[in-house]
Amino acid sequence: MSAKEELREVSQQLNKASKLHKQQAKKVAAISRKEYAKGGGVRKPDVMPKGKGMKRPTKKGAGMTEKGIRAYRKANPGSKLQGAVTGKVEPGSKDAKRRKSFCARSAGQMKKFPKAARDPNSRLRQARKRWKC
């Protein structure tokens, strides 16, 4: 087999592989479009219920009330939203870990929003106080 024939054969194989790759890329794109349309891979925004008594007043420590938590769970099935950890907790317990996690997240918010961090009556500061951060 001459060099020209070998080059022609390799070229044909490359063309076949290129066509196959394009077909597979189209299939993947079509599947991902279907998933996107169904909502798979794209998180829908949570519905935050509005109404009287859903949020605790700032003076009473901000955050959501039990009524607000129930309404949120009803509006967002499968939600695992829980109320604030306000009482005494055993070190290393689930509640202690939730408190530690909230305090860490809200400390980041204090850095991101220095105006709220300086204001002792801001919802952020009041919520941190209620969580005993």
pLDDT on residue 48:
78
Pair of tokens at residue 128: 């941190």
Dump pLDDT digits (tens) for 101-123. Answer: 999 999 999 999 999 999 999 99
* Rounded Cα gap, residues 122 and 18, in angstroms: 60
Per-residue pLDDT at 42: 57
Q: Are the C-beta atoms of residues 40 and 108 closer than 8 Å to each other?
A: no
Which residue in the block uniquely carries the two structure tokens 């009524």? 67
Given this model, what pLDDT does residue 34 score?
67
AA identity, residue 8: R
pLDDT digits (tens, 9 = 90+) for 15-62: 988 888 888 888 877 777 766 556 555 566 777 778 888 888 888 888
Q: Give the pLDDT confidence score for residue 22 in this predicted structure.
A: 87
**55 SS3 class:** strand
77-95 average pLDDT score: 92
8 A C-beta contact, residue 103 and residue 38: no
Q: Which residue has the tokens 């070190």?
A: 91
Residue 56 · residue 63 · CB < 8 Å? yes
Q: In this predicted structure, what is the pLDDT of residue 105?
A: 95
Per-residue pLDDT tens over the stretch 58-76: 888 888 999 999 999 988 8
CA distances (Å), 110 to each of 13, 34, 49, 52, 82, in order?
60, 40, 25, 28, 22
